[in-house]
């Protein structure tokens, strides 16, 4: 009994903070999403039921934002996993400098999103490093290419940044997984006359399947939360063509003061992420 009291006492502060700063805002946001939320003093918000949800679903910019976000996920997640796994497998083969390589790949992960976004902006600007290389050094073309000015290339730059920044995390995760694969299996494979590729596909991959699933789910959720890089590099320009879900949510809440809309949008996003995660779990389970 006394133990129980002690446990409760110890849990209590954490629970209070969690409730106050996580649970309460979520509930409040849920309530908000059904109102035409007004922020002025002495102004009453109107209950409009699913009105905000309908507005979000009918909004063309939202469609663009979802499309861009999905595209971002579809490109960055597989690329990060494939490249990360390849590097992890290579690092796993060597005996010297393992730690050095791991640190080297992990550096982009620990740098701040803001800093690297600005660095990438600097590289891809019209008068940036890349255009300088193309026009002045390699003489491929005489005109600067507006990487950040066009919707497609602007998003491409953000995807590149996402991949480059995410590889290190994957390398570290997969390295840990690879070291758990029993050595005997590889030896058995040698006896059976398997080549390296066969060993990789028939022994390594099945053994680290769960880690891959974990990485896919984490990276997908991460991809849906892409914000800083887009906000800083293109800001959704031109004409909201490079918005992703979060930049659009931010814009609607803090620029257009449309809090009800943004609240509804955040729940729709949560629903989307849940659906995608469930599908991923199913797909991996059936194998």
Contact positions vs another protein (CB under 8 A)? 2, 5-6, 9-10, 12-13, 16-17, 39-43, 121, 124-128, 142-144, 146-150, 154, 233-235, 237-240, 254-257, 259
Residue 254 Cβ vs another protein, minimum distance, rounded to whole Å: 5
Residue 236 Cβ vs another protein, minimum distance, rounded to whole Å: 9
Phi, psi of 46 (to 5 degrees): -95, 140
SS3 174: helix
Between 40 and 195, CB nearer to another protein: 40
Between 158 and 173, CB nearer to another protein: 158
Between 52 and 170, CB nearer to another protein: 52
Residue 29 Cβ vs another protein, minimum distance, rounded to whole Å: 12
Residue 208 Cβ vs another protein, minimum distance, rounded to whole Å: 40
Which stretches within the chain are classed as H helix?
2-18, 24-32, 51-58, 60-93, 98-110, 113-124, 129-132, 151-178, 183-191, 196-199, 205-207, 209-224, 228-233, 245-250, 259-286
Between 249 and 273, CB nearer to another protein: 249
Buried b (16+ CB within 10 A) or exposed e, 111-133: eebeebbeebbebbbeebebbee
């Amino acid at each position: 009994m006394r133990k129980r009291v002690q446990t409760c006492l110890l849990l209590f502060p954490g629970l209070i903070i969690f409730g106050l700063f996580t649970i309460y805002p979520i509930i409040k946001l849920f309530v908000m999403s059904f109102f035409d939320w007004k922020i002025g003093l002495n102004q009453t918000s109107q209950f409009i039921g699913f009105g905000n949800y309908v507005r979000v679903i009918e909004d063309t910019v939202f469609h663009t934002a979802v499309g861009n976000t999905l595209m971002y996920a579809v490109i960055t997640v597989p690329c990060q996993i494939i490249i990360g796994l390849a590097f992890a497998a290579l690092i796993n083969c060597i005996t010297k400098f393992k730690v050095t390589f791991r640190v080297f790949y992990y550096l982009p992960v620990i740098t701040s999103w803001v800093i690297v976004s600005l660095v990438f902006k600097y590289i891809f600007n019209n008068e940036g490093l890349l255009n300088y290389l193309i026009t002045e050094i390699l003489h491929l073309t005489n005109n600067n290419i507006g990487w950040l000015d066009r919707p497609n290339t602007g998003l491409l730059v953000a995807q590149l940044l996402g991949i480059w920044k995410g590889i290190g995390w994957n390398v570290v995760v997969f390295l840990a997984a690879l070291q758990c694969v029993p050595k005997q299996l590889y030896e058995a494979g040698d006896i059976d006359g398997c080549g390296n590729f066969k060993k990789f596909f028939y022994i390594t991959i099945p053994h680290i399947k769960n880690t891959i699933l974990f990485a896919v789910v984490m990276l997908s959720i991460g991809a849906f939360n892409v914000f800083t890089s887009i906000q800083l590099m293109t800001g959704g320009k031109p004409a909201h063509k490079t918005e992703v879900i979060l930049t659009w949510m931010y814009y609607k809440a803090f620029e257009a003061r449309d809090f009800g809309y943004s609240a509804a949008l955040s729940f729709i996003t949560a629903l989307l992420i849940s659906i995608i995660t469930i599908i991923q779990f199913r797909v991996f389970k059936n194998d």
